Structures are given as structure tokens and as C-alpha cells.
Structure 1
Amino acid sequence: MRLYGLKNCNTCRKALKEIENIEFVDVRAQGVPDSVLIEAFDTFGEALLNTRSTTWRGLNAEQRTRPPLELLKEHPTLMKRPLIEDDGTLLLGWTAKTKASLGVA
């Protein structure tokens, strides 16, 4: 199991604390593999893009019109977090639904 996120993200820290045996991938330092990013976008669509982030607010109007995958490759911190990969299944966010899928109380 792998969690893609940011080491200073409170939500990612909560998830890491509650999940046992998970590998952490810092998207700022290591990025997200293209195959995972494409699958995540196919699964979640534009919900994968965090339009409330500081990075998003720093983009100008022209940059915001670029294709989401292109933006996410260039600015991995635009990805909604955490993105959890569990045996071929992708989960987005640290919600009650995600916790239930992982068997976390």
C-alpha cells in the first residue's frame, strides 16, 4: 500500500498515523508515477485537482486552462491528498468512505 501526499500535510499525517504498513511517497520530492497519475485521473476526473490549494491560487488564468494532467505533472502539489494506492485500487482523500475501504476505524 502506498500513500501519495506531502509530508507537511495534516490530512496525510493523520492517514499515515492510522494506517499500518504503508509506504509514503512525497509528491513534492518524488512526484507521482505517470501510470498512477493517469489512472487516478481516469478514476476521479477533475476531483483529483485541488483548486483550493495555494499552488492553484498562484496560477494565472491562462495556466488554469491547461489540461489537468499536464498541470498535475508540472505541479504535483495541485493533487488532492492523500491519494492511496491499495492493491490496484485508488482512494482519494481521508474520508469516512476511504477509512471504511481500508478497514480503519
Structure 2
Amino acid sequence: MKKIYHLGNCDTCQKILKEVGAEKKQVQLQEIKTEPITPDQLDQMKELAGSYEALFSRRALKYRSMGLHEQTLTEKDYRRLLLEEYTFLKRPVAIVGNQIFIGNTKAVVEALKKAL
């Protein structure tokens, strides 16, 4: 399975999709704002990533506005927040076979290119 969860209006996501050649390599794309992540999809990502926290973005604007930076969050909290609000997912998240690539750092993008 080759799948990438992304945001359609995120310039960084669009740049990465183009850079890795997602369309040419027949990768299934899921735009998480219009097609929200299901609990099963999130649980699959967690199995590959090791934790919900690894999928959680502390850079999201709502992280501070909701006062989450002042709380100690549990895995249950991370899961609930990821399902409630798409902006909390570190983007993009790519799954290639049994490998997961989370975020947009140079190293992650390079590893994703090689895997595809």
C-alpha cells in the first residue's frame, strides 16, 4: 500500500507531493480536511509510528490556543485530539508498505523518495 495523508491547501505538502512524484508512482492521496482520518486509519498509523504522540504536531495553531501546551497529554488524549481536529496531524504522513514517514523534514522526504 502506498498512501499519503496531506492537506490540499498546504504549500509544503504540495511541494513534497511533487518532489516525491506521488502522482507518477500511483500513490493514493487522502486530503484530510475534506476526507477526515478514520479511527482505523489512525490506529494503523500508530502501529507503524509507535505512538500517537509521534503523529501529533505541536506547531498547530490550536495547540497553544486550546492551552494544550500547559497540560500533560496522554496517548488517549493525543488520539482523541487527532481524530477531532485534522490540524493536529504532522503532515504529510506517508505509508509505503510497512514503513511510515511523518512530517516534512529533509531526511524524511529523502527517505520517502527512496521508498517510493
Common fold: TM-score over 0.5:
yes
How far is the alpha carbon of 1:94 from its aligned partner?
2.5
Q: Name whichever of 15-24 and 36-45 sits farther off.
A: 36-45
Find out whether 1:86 has 2:96 as its counterpart.
yes
Q: Distance in 1 between matches of 2:84 and 2:12?
A: 22
| Residues 90/33 of structure 1: CA separation in 2 closer, same or farther (3 Å cut) | farther
CA RMSD of aligned residues (A): 2.2
Find out whether 1:35 has 2:46 as its counterpart.
no
Q: Distance in 2 between matches of 1:70 and 1:97?
A: 25
TM-score by structure 1 length? 0.79
Q: Distance in 1 between matches of 2:59 and 2:3?
A: 24
Corresponding residue for residue 75 of structure 1? 85
Residue 110 of structure 2, aligned match among 93, 99, 103? 99
TM-score by structure 2 length? 0.72
Deviating 4+ runs (over 3 angstroms) = none
The count of corresponding residues between Structure 1 and Structure 2 is 102
Contact 2:102 2:108 in 1 (8 A): no
| Residues 10/51 of structure 1: CA separation in 2 closer, same or farther (3 Å cut) | same
Write the mapping of 1:16-35 to structure 2, written as runs, cut at 5 A. Answer: 16-20=17-21, 21=25, 22-35=27-40
State the secondary structure of the residue aligned to 2:35. coil
Query: What is the aligned-residue identity percentage?
Result: 26
Corresponding residue for residue 56 of structure 1? 63
Contact 1:5 1:27 in 2 (8 A): yes
State the secondary structure of the residue aligned to 2:9. coil
